[in-house]
Amino acid sequence: MTDHVRPDPITICIVDDEPLARRRLTQLLADLSDIEIVASACDGRDALGKVSSHKPELLLLDIEMPHVDGFDVIETLQTTGDVTAPPLIIFTTAFPDFAAQAYETGAIDFLTKPVQPERLAIALERARSALLARDAMARLELLQSRLDSLRRDRAAIELQNPIWVASRGDMVRIFPRDIDHITAEGEYVSLHVGENRYLQRGVISRFLEEVDDPELIRVHRSHAVRRDRIERTSRNQWGAPLLHLSNGAVIPVGRKYLDVLKRL
């Protein structure tokens, strides 16, 4: 028995041109709780249509059928790529001589008609194991894709030098690109982010060195602004320049930073 149980039943399509053979397989599968017959096909062409529409996980596929036989069905499934997860194959046939050729196609088992319950049980157990392996591989591939995405996100975050600041007992992550302007307040710097303000212990010069963002520009001994937040300049009543930011703040420009204002 398999070590794990799939949460969903195995979906099966029975393909056989003989109605009695289809009926026998249906009866043998009827009492199995982890099996769901989603389709039944009477020939190869019908089987290809049912696989495309129902996407079964397993085909119980007769080899000898008119026009399009079981081998033709496999060849078509392998070449068209119509199904992203092609079904597993268990061949059924009245001719044991086909066994070697059937396994060469990649079938997981080969049953001789009339199909016996014990032999069918063995074939289904192989299918369960193969599907569990497929599920595990799919989960690994999904996890790998998510890990790759997470690694890219982490790398992008690290390049943005996130800053963790205290806010009402919580720690909040902010990015330098979101800071509108910075104001020195004693032993702290005040980070203005939209409508929020966060206090960070330290001096403004050290903070700017650590953040190392060329778009955050020192314009006063107590102020730094983000370049793209500047909307216009004006002068106060004594003629000193002022910067008007997009968030409504008005920031003075210190005398020693007038050359910075000219470059801006």
- CA-to-CA distance for 101 and 107, rounded, in angstroms? 10
Q: Residue 40: is its pLDDT beyond 70?
A: yes
- pLDDT > 70: what percent of the chain? 92
The pLDDT confidence band at residue 219, using thresholds 50, 70 and 90, is very high
The DSSP secondary-structure symbol of 105 reads: T
CATH number of the structural domain 163-263 = 2.40.50.1020
pLDDT, mean over the chain: 86
Where are the domain boundaries for CATH 2.40.50.1020 in the chain? 163-263
Q: Residue 83: is its pLDDT beyond 70?
A: no
Report residue 118 as tokens.
Answer: 């014990």
Residue-wise pLDDT for 155-210, tens only, equals: 665 556 778 888 888 888 888 888 999 999 988 999 999 989 999 888 999 998 88
Where are the domain boundaries for CATH 3.40.50.2300 in the chain? 10-147
- CA-to-CA distance for 218 and 234, rounded, in angstroms? 18
Check: CB of residue 225 under 8 Å from CB of residue 247. no
Q: List Cα–Cα distances, 91 to 49, 61, 72, 106, in angstroms.
A: 18, 5, 13, 10
Does the model's pTM come out above 0.85?
no
Check: CB of residue 176 under 8 Å from CB of residue 212. no
Q: Residue 3: is its pLDDT beyond 80?
A: no
Long-range Cβ contact pairs of 109-116 (< 8 A, separation 24 or more) = 111/60, 113/21, 114/24, 115/24, 115/25, 115/28
**261 SS3 class:** helix
> What is the fold, at CATH topology level, of the domain defined by 10-147?
Rossmann fold (3.40.50)
